[in-house]
Amino acid sequence: MAIQDRYHRQRLVEGFGDAGQRALSETTIAIVGMGALGCLSASMLARAGVGELILIDRDIVELTNVQRQLLYTEADALESMPKALAAKIHLESINSEIKMTAHVVDLTYQNAERLLEPADIIVDGLDHFDTRYLLNDVAVKHKKPYLFAGVIASQGNVMSIVPDKPTPCLRCIFPEPPPNGSQDTCDSAGVLAPAIGIAASCQTMDALKCATGNIEQISNTLLTFDLWSVNSTRLDVGNPNESCPCCGRQEFEFLHQSHDVEPTTMCGQHTVQIPQQEGFDINSAFTRLSEHGSFSQHMSIVRGELREELDGNGEPIKLTCFEDGRVLVHGTDDIGRAKSICTRYIGI
């Protein structure tokens, strides 16, 4: 079959057609979080012929990801590839016709509007709530569709936020993020891959509807399902709430924080993330760290273990340093200790 026929089966679908294919090829979609949801959405969108994908993820591939994160291989885990870069390489082999950009960063209030500015649609591939409120603010402020989904164990929630429709936004339904540590995550409660498939499919279908001008086909509902007990409900979420601080009063408080981004523990992973640093030099960090342990530099990432810092099991503390100065300190949940390790061995 000639390559120009690769989209034939979706052009046949009523409501999609040639016009839909053309519109999709002119659409830019950002996927924030290249975990299980992001891998599947990105794969479907790349195969469908989206114009451009912007892939954003702060993490590296680990062997425990390969069970459900369908773009990654054992080799990616062995090489500790950044997820956004590994995904881009695999997606390019799936569809070489589309444009792709990978950002290995932590999305924060400081970079969210800049990184998401080119996107027509934002797809949520996150595994934690705080950044979702940031995405919701960007989406409502700049009138971009935001396709929310979350999956834990065998359960999922999916809701599409489409400011032009309009639908309620995330804060109309869940006014505040849950307190840190109060929610299960995939790291604490686990996750089964088929549940991801349902949520990512719902998101991607709504991305196709948005891209092809079919937003009337998007429902104002919150889908909740559990594939283990085989239950699902669609809660009618009605219209936007006029008193909602975000879409009602247009107060984008998650975008206008005045404090610096603080170090955070990465739930269930026994890891502390030190935020990005201005003026950080990855090469000098590599030189300094190499004097204190076994470190390697690969694809602008420095990774290794410290000789003289041990975790609770007597294993060496491991560090992963990114080009933007972000550091993951593996082997501790103690933010103070992680900060002092970074000060002592990297000088940040």
Among 172, 237, 319, 329, binds Zn ion (CB under 5 A): 172
DSSP tag of 136: H
In whole angstroms, the minimum distance from the beta carbon of 171 to Zn ion comes to 5
Comparing CB distances to Zn ion, the nearer of 67 and 239 is 239
Comparing CB distances to Zn ion, the nearer of 137 and 309 is 137
Q: What is the pairing mode between strands 155-161 and 271-274?
A: unpaired
Q: Decide if residue 147 touches Zn ion (CB under 5 A).
A: no
The region of 1-9, 56-64, 86-94, 167-175 touching Zn ion under the rule CB under 5 A is 167-175
In whole angstroms, the minimum distance from the beta carbon of 172 to Zn ion comes to 3
> Site for Zn ion (CB under 5 A): how many residues?
6
In whole angstroms, the minimum distance from the beta carbon of 111 to Zn ion comes to 23
Comparing CB distances to Zn ion, the nearer of 22 and 143 is 143
Side-chain-facing half-sphere of 254: CA atoms under 13 Å: 25
Angle between helices 36-48 and 193-211 (to 10 degrees): 40
Q: Decide if residue 31 touches Zn ion (CB under 5 A).
A: no
Nearest to 136 by CA among 166, 110, 162: 162
- One-letter amino acid at 186 equals C
**Residue 96 burial class via C-beta count within 10 angstroms: exposed 0-12, middle 13-18, buried 19 and up:** exposed
The region of 121-129, 147-155, 205-213, 238-246 touching Zn ion under the rule CB under 5 A is 238-246
Comparing CB distances to Zn ion, the nearer of 39 and 172 is 172
Q: Decide if residue 171 touches Zn ion (CB under 5 A).
A: yes
In whole angstroms, the minimum distance from the beta carbon of 169 to Zn ion comes to 3
Q: Decide if residue 138 touches Zn ion (CB under 5 A).
A: no
Contacts 24+ apart (CB under 8 A), 267-271: 267/128, 267/181, 267/185, 267/187, 267/188, 268/185, 268/187, 268/188, 269/187, 269/330, 270/311, 270/330, 270/331, 270/332, 270/333, 271/328, 271/329, 271/330, 271/331, 271/332, 271/333
Give Rg (Cα) of the chain: 21
In whole angstroms, the minimum distance from the beta carbon of 137 to Zn ion comes to 10
- One-letter amino acid at 214 equals N
Q: Decide if residue 68 touches Zn ion (CB under 5 A).
A: no
- The mark string for 239-278 relative to Zn ion (x by CB under 5 A, - otherwise) is -----x-xx-------------------------------
Q: Which residue's Cβ lies closest to Zn ion?
A: 244
- Dist. CA 101–CA 242, nearest whole Å: 37
Side-chain-facing half-sphere of 345: CA atoms under 13 Å: 28
In whole angstroms, the minimum distance from the beta carbon of 150 to Zn ion comes to 18
Q: Decide if residue 169 touches Zn ion (CB under 5 A).
A: yes
Positions in the binding site for Zn ion (CB under 5 A): 169, 171-172, 244, 246-247
